[in-house]
Chain A
Amino acid sequence: MKRKGAFLLLMMTMMFLLTSCWSKKELTDLAIVAAMGIDRTGDGRYHITLQIINPGNVAGGLQGGGGGTQSPPVTIYSASGDNLVEASRRASRSISRRLYYAHTNLVVVGEKLAREEGINTLMDAFDRDPEFRTTATMVIAKHSTAADLVKTLTPVDKIPANKVLKTLEFTQRKWGENVKTSLQEVMQSLESPGRGTVVSGFRLVGNPQQAQRLDNLQESAPEATIQASGIAVLKQGKLVDWLYGKPARGTVWLLDKIQGTDININWEGKKEVIAYQTVRQKTSVSAQVKNGQPHISVHARVEGDIAEMEVPVDITDPKVITKIEQSVRKEIKKELKASIERAQKNKTDILGFGEVVHRSRPNQFKKLKSEWNDVYFPKLNVDITVEAYVRRAGLRNKSFLSGIKEKQK
């Protein structure tokens, strides 16, 4: 009986151990950081801007859209420090809760910091911290500080960090001039010998002061918004160039990250009148080394549909389709070539050609490695072959215009 009593007592004391309250973090004591912006201050220290979610203001579905007295869905805190950890810890002076980084999905780097000092030194803090996820996306704030970008309030998606992420995701799927790069991907390409890095750019359009005010959202066309813009080219971690438009899309294409886009072709003298939307695309790169000179072959394959024809074309004729396919091929080849030339001009191998040589010819690459970016890559011979197929043409065959043309005869 005594034994049983002692056992019972032991079990009851164990209960207190089993609650696992050692370092408990109550949800109401956490400040969930949605995005983090990093800038350089004048005296060379880091300035971080933290976008913290106001849980109450995000959840209220009914009064959504920004009622008159509502407070914003996020609150911004900032702090400076000689390194990121110091800055983050110092920020606690102004925040009533513990900063919680496990849900930080976005890291914004100011253009000035990226250009002058580079992003290499930032990486270790993100990589080492057990709470921070390296699946977070990294963007560079174009023409502005990271702080301004992080402070901007956005319509539709209430949390600005989500707006950035979703914009990148959808534009990559539909237009292909931007690419969503996670911290881990950025780190991998920074580490790879003789490799340049691409990071998507994001831009604040309008007045930064206006962008952080809630009444900015009360207009149907907010004066200040943020949008994906350009791809930053990083050489050894430092920003050297911005790519826009076709070179940007060609770069995404060569990296085999493209998920869908639209290509316009000329028809019978009229410019950009047929829109071809891609559905499936695959780019493969292979390398040879002949007499110590590397040689790269790029092969792109694309399947897609005709989406729009602003000229009377009768595509019921297979020969016409073949002709369209040829024009698409030419158009894509031009784009890929332009982006390769741009990369060569920057002397930065953002396309990973060096890696391809390394993989297929490891011994020869050893000799090329140290001078790859500055000597071998800029004068590299690149063969581009493109296969393009038109698979479908939407719900109609002939163009609407060809119907009109026939009737008027």
Chain B
Amino acid sequence: MEKAKISASQLFILMVLFELGSALLVPLAIDANQDAWLAILLGMVFSFVLLLVYHRLYLYYPDLLLTEYMQKILGKVMGTVLAFVYILYFMYDASRVLRDFGEMLLAFAYPDTPLFIANALLMLVIIYTIRKGIEVIARSGELLFIFMYVLAVAGFILIVSSGLIEIKNLQPILEEGLFPVLKVVFTQTLYFPFTEVIVFTMILPYLNNPKKAKVTMLCATGLSGINLIITMLINVCVLGVSLTARSQFPLLSTVQTIQVADFLERLDVFFMLALVISIFFKICLLFYVAVVGTANLFKVKSPSRLSYPLGLIILFLSITIASNVQEHIHEGLKVAMVALHIPLLVIIPPLLLLVAFFKNRKEQRE
């Protein structure tokens, strides 16, 4: 752990950018058809429960990282192994997001460029940022957060003013009942993007005002949830369900349809800017957490030195995890959900909390 402090508002901004990250890119929860927004909303609400679990763990060990208190809770051997698994998960997730980024650029704007080049260029910037530490990430977050929101608001106004919104595309609501929506919630939206914020259990110890942690976490998830809901609502309203479901990047297609006053059109580049910003922060945070986790686990004195080797691993992993886009998306939605998200985000943290609870009660009695 480096000696650094971030404020509650910086944490808030980082969380929002993290959750928007690649979730803005994909047709989130589109398996629920026109009720995608409802699936996102419910996913957000249910994720609050897990968020409170993460926060409770933080309250027990306010100065320790997830990978550290794991060792206290479960003992040296078990804790170390599990901490290592979590670090691997963070790195895998970082490489997935990096791949998302590369695929977006290649599919849309750079068809002739190799994936490696696109990914490597972003990775270089990220490695540089990681070396500078969490405070720099947080400060650049503040700057770019404003820029992203200006883009988002401008885009929203343009879409509305070009008369593209067809509210009737959202009807009928709950055509097949609530069950399909709940299925999407528990297989997709609950984990991606909301409970991925388990990453922040590794960042919370840097918070200068621990009392604000809970409110900040809930508010940030709420805000990003609302943003994602609005995005999906607009996508479905503008494109209709079937086109949204067929799109690799529905928000891009939505932005492409903007035509205001015969000259405000082809604004795709603003979509790219917004996505590059949010993906940059998502990778940065996942990567940073992997770096501090590793440094802490293996007692490396200066964590920033780890950024080169780990960065290279993430870069190569992003190229090798899948041989094509479809495989990559399939892995993300089906394989990673069962193999990684459910055990690591939903099952283990509450178990940790349970053990921590009994352990602390015992200590208090003694």
A residues within 8 Å of B by Cβ? 17, 22-23, 102, 127, 130, 133-135, 184, 187-188, 191, 355, 358-360, 362
Q: A184: which B residues are within 8 A, CB to CB?
A: 239, 243, 257
Contact partner of B171 among A102, A127, A359, CB < 8 A?
A359
Contact partner of A22 among B107, B117, B242, B246, CB < 8 A?
B117
A191 pairs with B256, CB closer than 8 A: no
Contact partner of B256 among A22, A23, A135, A188, CB < 8 A?
A135
**Complex-state Cα separation, A355 to B172, whole angstroms:** 10
Q: B121: which A residues are within 8 A, CB to CB?
A: 17
Contact partner of B113 among A23, A130, A133, A135, CB < 8 A?
A23
Sample (28) of A-B pairs whose CB atoms are under 8 Å apart: A17-B121, A22-B112, A22-B113, A22-B117, A23-B111, A23-B112, A23-B113, A102-B266, A130-B107, A130-B108, A130-B111, A133-B256, A133-B266, A134-B257, A135-B256, A135-B257, A135-B259, A184-B257, A188-B239, A188-B242, A188-B243, A191-B240, A191-B242, A359-B168, A359-B171, A360-B171, A360-B172, A362-B175
The contact string, 1 if C-beta is below 8 Å from chain A, for chain B 242-273, is 11001000000100110100000110000000
B110 interfacial contact with A, CB 8 Å: yes
**Complex-state Cα separation, A187 to B242, whole angstroms:** 10
| A281 CB, min distance to chain B CBs, angstroms | 15
**Complex-state Cα separation, A127 to B240, whole angstroms:** 14
**Complex-state Cα separation, A134 to B168, whole angstroms:** 21
Q: B113: which A residues are within 8 A, CB to CB?
A: 22-23
**Complex-state Cα separation, A200 to B240, whole angstroms:** 22
Nearest CB to that of B175 among chain A residues? A362
| B160 CB, min distance to chain A CBs, angstroms | 17
A-B contacts besides A22-B113, A133-B266, 9 pairs, CB < 8 Å: A22-B110, A22-B112, A23-B112, A130-B107, A130-B109, A184-B239, A359-B168, A359-B171, A362-B175
Q: A191: which B residues are within 8 A, CB to CB?
A: 240, 242-243
| A202 CB, min distance to chain B CBs, angstroms | 21
Q: Which of B167-198 contact A (CB under 8 A)?
A: 168, 171-172, 175
Nearest CB to that of B252 among chain A residues? A130
| A18 CB, min distance to chain B CBs, angstroms | 10
A362 pairs with B259, CB closer than 8 A: no
Q: A355: which B residues are within 8 A, CB to CB?
A: 168
B residues within 8 Å of A by Cβ? 107-113, 117, 121, 168, 171-172, 175, 239-240, 242-243, 246, 253, 256-257, 259, 265-266
Nearest CB to that of A352 among chain B residues? B168
**Complex-state Cα separation, A212 to B188, whole angstroms:** 57
Decide yes or no: A358 and B172 within 8 Å by CB, A23-B113, A184-B243, A187-B243 being known contacts: yes
Q: B172: which A residues are within 8 A, CB to CB?
A: 358-360, 362
| A106 CB, min distance to chain B CBs, angstroms | 15
**Complex-state Cα separation, A362 to B180, whole angstroms:** 15
| A297 CB, min distance to chain B CBs, angstroms | 16
Q: B246: which A residues are within 8 A, CB to CB?
A: 127
**Complex-state Cα separation, A358 to B172, whole angstroms:** 7
Main secondary structure of the interface of A (DSSP, over half): helix
**Complex-state Cα separation, A23 to B112, whole angstroms:** 6
Nearest CB to that of A103 among chain B residues? B266
Q: A130: which B residues are within 8 A, CB to CB?
A: 107-109, 111
Nearest CB to that of A366 among chain B residues? B175
**Complex-state Cα separation, A198 to B175, whole angstroms:** 27
| A171 CB, min distance to chain B CBs, angstroms | 17
B110 pairs with A23, CB closer than 8 A: yes
| B185 CB, min distance to chain A CBs, angstroms | 21
Nearest CB to that of B109 among chain A residues? A130
**Complex-state Cα separation, A280 to B329, whole angstroms:** 47
| B177 CB, min distance to chain A CBs, angstroms | 10
Q: B168: which A residues are within 8 A, CB to CB?
A: 355, 359
**Complex-state Cα separation, A362 to B110, whole angstroms:** 43
Q: B112: which A residues are within 8 A, CB to CB?
A: 22-23
**Complex-state Cα separation, A102 to B239, whole angstroms:** 20
| A189 CB, min distance to chain B CBs, angstroms | 10
Nearest CB to that of A17 among chain B residues? B121
**Complex-state Cα separation, A17 to B240, whole angstroms:** 41
Nearest CB to that of B113 among chain A residues? A22
| B176 CB, min distance to chain A CBs, angstroms | 8
Nearest CB to that of A124 among chain B residues? B246
| B296 CB, min distance to chain A CBs, angstroms | 31
Nearest CB to that of B117 among chain A residues? A22
Nearest CB to that of B34 among chain A residues? A359
**Complex-state Cα separation, A99 to B188, whole angstroms:** 41
| B361 CB, min distance to chain A CBs, angstroms | 53
**Complex-state Cα separation, A346 to B76, whole angstroms:** 77
Q: B109: which A residues are within 8 A, CB to CB?
A: 130
| B278 CB, min distance to chain A CBs, angstroms | 21
**Complex-state Cα separation, A303 to B113, whole angstroms:** 56
**Complex-state Cα separation, A127 to B253, whole angstroms:** 10
Nearest CB to that of B268 among chain A residues? A130
Q: A360: which B residues are within 8 A, CB to CB?
A: 171-172
**Complex-state Cα separation, A191 to B169, whole angstroms:** 13
**Complex-state Cα separation, A184 to B256, whole angstroms:** 11
CB-based closest 9 A-B pairs: A23-B112, A362-B172, A359-B171, A362-B175, A191-B242, A188-B240, A22-B113, A130-B108, A359-B172
Q: B239: which A residues are within 8 A, CB to CB?
A: 184, 188
| B32 CB, min distance to chain A CBs, angstroms | 14
Nearest CB to that of A127 among chain B residues? B246
**Complex-state Cα separation, A358 to B107, whole angstroms:** 35
**Complex-state Cα separation, A130 to B109, whole angstroms:** 8
Q: A22: which B residues are within 8 A, CB to CB?
A: 110, 112-113, 117
| B116 CB, min distance to chain A CBs, angstroms | 12
A134 pairs with B256, CB closer than 8 A: yes
Nearest CB to that of A362 among chain B residues? B172
**Complex-state Cα separation, A359 to B121, whole angstroms:** 47
Q: B111: which A residues are within 8 A, CB to CB?
A: 23, 130
| B186 CB, min distance to chain A CBs, angstroms | 24
**Complex-state Cα separation, A321 to B175, whole angstroms:** 47
Q: A359: which B residues are within 8 A, CB to CB?
A: 168, 171-172
Which has the most chain B C-beta neighbours within 10 Å: A130, A187, A358?
A130
Q: B243: which A residues are within 8 A, CB to CB?
A: 184, 187-188, 191
Q: B175: which A residues are within 8 A, CB to CB?
A: 362
**Complex-state Cα separation, A191 to B110, whole angstroms:** 30
**Complex-state Cα separation, A188 to B256, whole angstroms:** 16
| A387 CB, min distance to chain B CBs, angstroms | 22
**Complex-state Cα separation, A191 to B112, whole angstroms:** 32
Q: B253: which A residues are within 8 A, CB to CB?
A: 134
**Complex-state Cα separation, A303 to B240, whole angstroms:** 31
